[in-house]
A and B are shown apart, each in its own frame.
Chain A
Amino acid sequence: MTRGVLLEVAGLKVHFPGGRGPIRAVDGVDFVVREGETLGLVGESGCGKSTTARALVGLVPATAGRAELDGRSLLGRQRKSLRRRIQMVFQDPYASLDPRQTVGDILREPLEIHGLGDRRERRLRTIELMLQVGLDPRFLNRYPHEFSGGQRQRIGIARALALRPDLLLLDEPVSALDVSIQAQILNLLSGLRRELGLSYLFIAHDLSVVRHLADRVAVMYLGRIVEIGPKAAVFDRPRHPYTKALLSAVPVPDPEVEARRERVFLEGDPPSPDREKKGCAFASRCPLATERCRREEPMLLPRTGLGRESRRVACFEVVESGGGRAG
């Protein structure tokens, strides 16, 4: 029943030098992605969700921690054979495709770099990729500007699939698209995952989209995961006070639901990631915060007495006193 662990991340930190001290963009995150699973990584701007993904493909250097794909380290210098098993799809299909390359060039490039196949096989592979993402292979000689935003995102996905990866890191893959086009891309992603047995790390700020695509969800706040667990548990019975506030702020396209809902308004803004590190990062805005929260940092733990529950929460009030149970 339990599927094998494909990606394991432990204690991952990405710090950048800053004027007032290090900027702790990612500050110790732990999670796994199992085979065939989608883990949704959610949080607001600056929480470190994109930086986490970028560290996994070596686009930014990790400061500390471990990240392993099938037990082989992704951090530091990656071997090509490992690198091709993990690929990334970016948010902006206008900025992530070279405007001077044809779609054929774009899809062929990874095959050439990794020395896969001869000319003919590469050509066949590009045709296959076009068909897989729902594009007409006759368009292989066209340039990115000749496509719509949704079609360009299909090209970005085809490029990520070229090397037959096991894991895709999807960084806000639909947030630049119009709503009527988002569903097309989301359905494409669900279909590809099923057909190709892929695993996804799906990063998005739109929680409704994550709910649709993910199996499990991790909620990040200021460089840390504050709650992680199966999708239904996190979305229907959130425990961490930040998860509750975040979910209650998402508008639902239904006036009756909107009228009934109770909003948890958060005061102010998140603290700066170069703040002096002390206590829980959410304490300054948290309705449950105590003296201890301002002093000590809570670990990501299962709730007391519920050792088998697969959800973990980083909050003293929730984990130890069973607080946050209501709602």
Chain B
Amino acid sequence: MKKAPLSPERSPVLEVDGLEVDFETGDGRVRAVRGLSYRLGPGETLGVVGESGSGKSVTHLAMLGLLPDTAEVRAERLRFQGNDLPPAGSEALRRLRGRGIGMIFQDPMTSLNPFLTLGTQIAEMARIHLGLRGAALRETVVAALAEVGIPNPELRIEQYPHEFSGGMRQRAMIAMMLVAEPALLFADEPTTALDVTVQAQILGLLASLQERRGMSIVLITHDLGVVAGFAHRILVMYAGRVVEEAPTPALFANPSHPYTRGLLRSIPRLDEEREELEPIPGQPPDLLALPEGCPFAPRCPSVRELCLREEPGLRSLEDGHALACHVDLEPFDHEERS
């Protein structure tokens, strides 16, 4: 764990209040994100954890205006560095993407143009966002590749994406993001397609860049192990909502939502022997037909009658811990897991 940064309540980099994202589909209206709110402080890393369909990626694509036209995005407040985020499709938002908020995605191969050299693609970022030309442009590109640990950057800028390994391509994407010097990075499953030793390299690189540059990071992932060592604070999402939010140590010391507990009990750990895993029964709900009440209720071992009628709102516990659940569970029993 890294040292906790400034409190996000003071001069937050990002403020999200009441974000809703719906998709109009042939089968009906998909409610992908419902009433999502969070704050992100300068230099802070927020881990956003959830499974497919939890809304963790859609949330962030919505803020950047990167969703298709079938999406309907509403929010009470979306502010970046104290100013409202420009509307989707606007020139102002286009300028902000890259310069203000950088992005890296799961599969660097599909984010790169296979017909252009790496140097050309990174230079484009520096030219558009920083207005650099000529020798200064080249110098910036080479320096960025060196900063992300790509050996022989002068030679590598002449090469095409297919000449790079998966890990080196993700480093190149990070270099491309870095040249525009964003204050905030959205990293959406940045290591999911990579081998585990390469994942460790990339996470180490992101952590050191953050320390050097004071960037804020939102790390979107399905992997609780990845956020345990990397994030200051964690949001757990389920069926388009935040079900639990806490500083990383608190979340793992006392996971309080039955879904978070279920996840921790169901995943095997490298440092533990367990006879049986305790799976979460059933499957995530159909976002086209969300059940009444709490969307986790049909799978929940602690379900009450109230849960089937009324969806719980997010309520604050102590120490920055927040929970969307009607039930107060006993403190988490770590022994029960082994």
- Contact status A251-B223, CB under 8 Å: yes
- The answer to the question of A135 belonging to the interface, with a C-beta cut-off of 8 Å to chain B, is no
Q: In the complex, which residue of chain B has the Cβ closest to the Cβ of A263?
A: B200
- Contact status B225-A250, CB under 8 Å: yes
Q: How far is the CA of A184 from the CA of B222 in the complex (A)?
A: 17
Residues from chain A with a CB closer than 8 A to the CB of B266 are 179-180, 182-183
Interface flags, B195-213, vs A, CB<8A=1, else 0: 1111111001000000000
- Contact status A208-B268, CB under 8 Å: yes
- Contact status B277-A178, CB under 8 Å: no
Q: Which one, A148, A183, A257, contacts B283 given CB within 8 A?
A: A148
Q: In the complex, which residue of chain B has the Cβ closest to the Cβ of A266?
A: B197
CB contacts under 8 Å to A, within B154-170, are 165-168
Residues from chain B with a CB closer than 8 A to the CB of A178 are 51-52, 222, 284
Q: How far is the CA of A206 from the CA of B249 in the complex (A)?
A: 24
- Contact status B197-A190, CB under 8 Å: no
CB proximity of A147 to chain B, nearest CB, Å: 10
Q: Which one, A247, A257, A265, contacts B201 given CB within 8 A?
A: A265
- Contact status A269-B168, CB under 8 Å: yes
Residues from chain B with a CB closer than 8 A to the CB of A246 are 196-197
- The answer to the question of A286 belonging to the interface, with a C-beta cut-off of 8 Å to chain B, is no
A-B contact count (CB 8 A): 129
- Contact status B269-A180, CB under 8 Å: no
- The answer to the question of A252 belonging to the interface, with a C-beta cut-off of 8 Å to chain B, is yes
CB proximity of B195 to chain A, nearest CB, Å: 4
Residues from chain B with a CB closer than 8 A to the CB of A268 are 151
Q: How far is the CA of A230 from the CA of B305 in the complex (A)?
A: 48
- Contact status A253-B277, CB under 8 Å: no
- Contact status B195-A205, CB under 8 Å: yes
Q: How far is the CA of A263 from the CA of B199 in the complex (A)?
A: 12
- In the complex with contacts A178-B222, A246-B197, A252-B279 CB distance below 8 A: no
- In the complex with contacts A44-B197, A186-B277, A265-B200, A253-B51 CB distance below 8 A: no
- The answer to the question of B6 belonging to the interface, with a C-beta cut-off of 8 Å to chain A, is no
21 contacts between A and B (CB under 8 A): A44-B198, A148-B283, A180-B51, A183-B267, A183-B277, A183-B279, A183-B280, A184-B279, A205-B195, A207-B196, A211-B273, A212-B268, A212-B277, A245-B197, A246-B197, A250-B225, A253-B252, A256-B252, A257-B271, A258-B1, A263-B200
Chain A interface (Cβ < 8 Å from any Cβ of B): 44-45, 148, 150, 178-184, 186-187, 190, 205, 207-209, 211-212, 232, 235, 245-259, 263, 265-266, 268-269
* Nearest 10 interchain pairs by C-beta: A251-B225, A258-B229, A183-B279, A212-B268, A183-B266, A44-B195, A249-B200, A183-B277, A253-B224, A178-B51
